[in-house]
Chain A
Amino acid sequence: MSLPNSNSILSILRGKETPLSTTVKYHVNMVAKHAEESGRATDAGVAAQHVTAMQAHKEAARAGMHQEKGFKELSNNAIGQSDALLGPRHMGNSNHKSYSWPYNDTQRQTTDAGIWHSGGPGKISGASHQWGSRYANEKSANLAEYLTPAAIVVTPFLHDWVKNHKQKGQQSTPATNVPSPGNSSPGNAIPGGSGGVAQSTPAREHSDIIIEANIPHLLNTAYQLIWPEGPKTMASDAADIVRVTSDPVKRQQVIDNAKLIPGYLQGRTREIGQGIGNFCKRCLNAISPADSAAMGGHCRGCYSKNNNVAAV
C-alpha cells in the first residue's frame, strides 16, 4: 500500500510545515506596526503610505504562511516599503529575529492559573514564569520577596483600588496604607490591610477595580497581588477592569510614588535606585543595553528609541 501525500506527512513529522518562521513573524508584526502608524497618523498621505506598507507585509505574511511561490519577492518588497517609511534601520531589516511575538514556537507556557506567558523577549527577569510555575500558590508575603522592581510600579495603583472603594463607602482605610510584607492571608494582601476591604468579599468580584499598569505582562503581577489565589483566566477580565496609562509624566509619578512607599520597598532598595537595569521611560519595559542594541536602539515594548531608556 502506498500512501498519497506521504511527503506532506513526512514534512509534518519533521516539523517543516508547522513552525511559523521568523520571517513570517516579522511580517505579521510589521502588519501591526504599520497598521498602528496608519491609525495614528494625522496626515492622510502618511496614513495611506502606512496602509500600503501594511498590505505589502500582509501579503508577504500570507505568502510565507501558505508557502506560496513569490514569497521572497513579496517579502523584499514589504521590507523596502518599511525602509522607506521607517528608515533603513527599521527593526525588521536590521534584526528581525529579535522581533517580539506572543510566545516562542517551542515555549508555549501556561501558569497554574491558566495565564499565558510570553516566554519571549520583553519579560522582566523571568518573573512571569516564577509567578506561574513556582509561586502561584504562595501567599503575598512570600510573593513580595520575588517582586521585580517594575512590579512595584504597579502597587501605587492598588491605592486607587482602595480609593475607589472608599468613595463607594465600602471601607474607610486611608489610601496611604500599604500592604505589609508580613501579612500572608489573601485578604490582608490587599492595600488597606486588616482594616480595609471587607475580607469576606472576594476581591475579584469588584469589577470596578482599576489597575494602571504600563506593560501588559505586569498585569499578571498585579493580579497576583490582588488575588493571591489567582483568577482562573486573566485575559477575559482584564479588558474590563484594567486601565493603562501611557502618559510619561504620570508614569514618572508612579515610579516616584513607588519609591516613596517605605514599607513596600523595604528590602528592595538594592533594586530600586541602584542600577538593577534599564527601563524604557515611555512604557517601562525592562530593557538591557544589549537588548536595546539588538533592537537597533529601540525598545521592544513601544519601539521608542533608546534615548528614552532610564536606569533605575
Chain B
Amino acid sequence: MGNWIPNMWERSYDHDGFNDRTAGREAAKDNRAAMVDYHLDSIAEHAKAAGAARGEGDHSMAWIHDQGVEAHKKGLQAQYHNIPSKGETSRKATEISAKYLPGHLQKYNELIGN
C-alpha cells in the first residue's frame, strides 16, 4: 500500500510503527475529547461570569468574559477539527481564562500533561 496515508493522518499521531500509531491514535482521541470537554465547560463558565457581570452592571468585565467564550469556542472547534494550531488556540483561550477564572491554567496544564 505504500505511504498512501495522507498527512492529515500522519501529523496527528506518533510515527513509531503501525501498532504504536494505532495506540497513539486512541490516546490522541481521548485527549482531544478531554480538551473538547474542557473548552465546553470553559464556555459555560465564562458565559455565566459574563451574565453575572452584566447583572451587576460591570459591562467591561462582561465583555472580557465574552472574549473568553469566543476564545474557547475557537479552541473547541480547533480541537474538534484537529487542526494543526489547535494547541495554540487552546493555549490562547486558557490565557484569558487563567487571568479571570482561577484554576484554569492548572486544569489546562493537567490536560496537556505538564
- In the complex, residue of chain A having the shortest beta-carbon distance to the beta carbon of B70: A102
Contact in complex: A102, B77 (CB < 8 Å): yes
Give the interface size bracket for B toward A.
35 or more
Q: Which of A35-43, A224-232, A273-281, A289-297 contacts B (4 or more CB under 8 A)?
A: A35-43
Contact in complex: A12, B9 (CB < 8 Å): yes
Contact A38 to B40, CB < 8 A, known contacts A20-B81, A236-B95, A244-B63: no
Contact in complex: A58, B67 (CB < 8 Å): no
Contact A39 to B92, CB < 8 A, known contacts A1-B1, A3-B1, A102-B73: no
Contact in complex: B80, A20 (CB < 8 Å): yes
Is A54's CB within 8 Å of the partner chain B?
yes
* Count of inter-chain pairs, beta carbons less than 8 A: 119
Contact with B along A130-154 (1 / 0, CB 8 A): 0000000000000000000000000
Contact in complex: B76, A35 (CB < 8 Å): no
Tell me the bound Cα distance from A65 to B72 in angstroms: 15
Is B113's CB within 8 Å of the partner chain A?
no
- In the complex, residue of chain B having the shortest beta-carbon distance to the beta carbon of A12: B8
Which residues of the partner chain B approach A269 to less than 8 Å between Cβ atoms?
Answer: none
Tell me the bound Cα distance from A3 to B1 in angstroms: 9
Is A66's CB within 8 Å of the partner chain B?
yes
Residues 40 to 61 of chain A near chain B (Cβ within 8 Å)? 40-42, 54, 58, 61
Which residues of the partner chain A approach B22 to less than 8 Å between Cβ atoms?
Answer: 4-5
Tell me the bound Cα distance from A243 to B53 in angstroms: 13
Which residues of the partner chain A approach B53 to less than 8 Å between Cβ atoms?
Answer: 39
Contact in complex: B43, A39 (CB < 8 Å): no
Which residues of the partner chain A approach B101 to less than 8 Å between Cβ atoms?
Answer: none
Contact A37 to B63, CB < 8 A, known contacts A4-B22, A28-B73, A236-B92: no
For A34, A35, A62, the residue with the greatest tally of chain B CB atoms inside 10 Å of its CB is A35
Contact in complex: A239, B59 (CB < 8 Å): no
Residue in contact with B52 in the complex, picked from A40, A54, A216, CB distance below 8 Å: A40
Which residues of the partner chain A approach B6 to less than 8 Å between Cβ atoms?
Answer: 13
Which residues of the partner chain B approach A34 to less than 8 Å between Cβ atoms?
Answer: 47
A283 to chain B, nearest CB (A): 11
Residue in contact with A40 in the complex, picked from B41, B54, B63, B67, CB distance below 8 Å: B54
Contact in complex: A33, B47 (CB < 8 Å): yes
Tell me the bound Cα distance from A105 to B22 in angstroms: 27
Tell me the bound Cα distance from A105 to B76 in angstroms: 12
Residues 83 to 114 of chain B near chain A (Cβ within 8 Å)? 83, 92, 95-96, 99
Is B14's CB within 8 Å of the partner chain A?
no
Which residues of the partner chain B approach A31 to less than 8 Å between Cβ atoms?
Answer: 40, 43-44, 47
Contact in complex: B66, A216 (CB < 8 Å): yes
A236 to chain B, nearest CB (A): 7
Which residues of the partner chain B approach A239 to less than 8 Å between Cβ atoms?
Answer: 64, 67, 96, 99
Tell me the bound Cα distance from A38 to B46 in angstroms: 12
Which residues of the partner chain A approach B80 to less than 8 Å between Cβ atoms?
Answer: 18, 20, 65
Contact A244 to B59, CB < 8 A, known contacts A28-B40, A38-B48: yes
Is A101's CB within 8 Å of the partner chain B?
yes
Tell me the bound Cα distance from A31 to B95 in angstroms: 21
Query: Mind listing 15 A-B residue pairs with CB under 8 Å?
Result: A20-B77, A32-B47, A32-B73, A35-B45, A35-B51, A39-B54, A41-B51, A65-B36, A102-B70, A102-B73, A239-B64, A244-B63, A245-B59, A246-B54, A246-B59
